[in-house]
């Protein structure tokens, strides 16, 4: 049971993990519920979607990714989370791509991707990436003192790979500031460029 369908992103993750037949999602806003149902259908997920209010009385435990190697860690899920992802490591810290300028330089190269940071009480955090098509996601775990970071990716787009490639492109061009980027707009399209219109930035994904 999910309370608050929103964009449908969590309902899609739950359907992927558990199967659509085992997921019920409730949204109070009728328009949001309809939009989410359309997105879920396009992604070929068909959870039971309800429009209305939900009243519950229970104690909720905040989900947190826990590694079994951590002292006193708790297993809130019976299997690995996120599910069905490809695991790897990266030498690029999530902090490296977190400044306003870095996010801008990466964002103009990697369309349709949104970040979310989940911070934990011990000072670590997980960077989540997901695409607006609700087909792909990635996570990168940051811990102090680490020089390589755990990555999990799933879907047709390797979102962290795209972000990492975009960040390296920015670094190779001496980390240009906002003033070196420009935009050309035509009736049917727009193009972001670096230094001149003859140098369009690469698009990934």
Q: What is the DSSP letter of 25?
A: E
90, 164 Cβ separation under 8 angstroms: yes
Residues written for the chain: 205
pLDDT confidence tier of residue 45, bands split at 50, 70 and 90: confident
Cβ neighbours for 127, distance < 8 A, ≥ 6 positions apart: 94, 98, 115, 116, 117, 139, 140, 141, 142
Q: For residue 144, which phi and psi values (nearest 5 degrees)? A: -65, 140
In 3D space, the residue among 190, 113, 182 whose CA is nearest the CA of residue 153 turns out to be 113
130, 136 Cβ separation under 8 angstroms: yes
166, 105 Cβ separation under 8 angstroms: yes
Our CA dihedral for 47, 49, 55, 58, rounded to 10 degrees, sits at: 10
pLDDT confidence tier of residue 83, bands split at 50, 70 and 90: low
pLDDT at residue 36, rounded to an integer: 81
State percent of the chain over pLDDT 70. Answer: 83
pLDDT confidence tier of residue 53, bands split at 50, 70 and 90: low
Task: List, as one string, the DSSP characters of 41-107.
Answer: HHTT---EEEES---------------TTSTT----SSS-SSTTPEEEEESS-GGGG-SHHHHHHHH
| Average pLDDT of the segment spanning 53-78 | 42
Interstrand relation of 125-131 and 113-119 (parallel, antiparallel or unpaired) = antiparallel
129, 107 Cβ separation under 8 angstroms: no
Whether the predicted pLDDT of 11 surpasses 50: yes
Whether the predicted pLDDT of 57 surpasses 70: no
Whether the predicted pLDDT of 131 surpasses 60: yes
71, 58 Cβ separation under 8 angstroms: no
d(CA 75, CA 64): 9
């Amino acid at each position: 049971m999910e309370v608050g369908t929103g964009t449908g992103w969590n309902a899609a993750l739950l359907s992927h993990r558990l199967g659509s037949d085992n997921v019920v999602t409730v949204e109070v806003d009728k328009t949001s519920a309809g939009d989410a149902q359309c997105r879920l259908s396009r992604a070929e997920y068909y959870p039971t979607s309800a429009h209305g209010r939900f009243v519950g009385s229970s104690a909720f435990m905040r989900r947190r990714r826990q590694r079994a190697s951590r002292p006193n860690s708790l297993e809130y899920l019976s299997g690995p989370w996120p599910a069905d992802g490809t695991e790897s490591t990266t030498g690029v810290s999530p902090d490296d791509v977190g400044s306003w300028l870095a996010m801008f330089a990466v964002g103009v190269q990697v369309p349709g991707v949104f970040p979310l940071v989940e911070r934990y009480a011990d000072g670590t955090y997980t960077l989540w990436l997901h695409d607006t098509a609700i087909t792909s996601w990635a996570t990168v775990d940051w811990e102090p003192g680490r020089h390589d970071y755990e990555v999990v990716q799933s879907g047709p787009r390797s979102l962290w790979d795209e972000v990492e490639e975009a960040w390296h492109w920015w670094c190779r061009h001496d980390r240009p500031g906002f003033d070196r980027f420009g935009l050309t707009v035509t009736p049917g399209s727009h193009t972001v460029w670096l230094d001149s219109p003859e140098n369009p930035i690469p698009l990934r994904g």
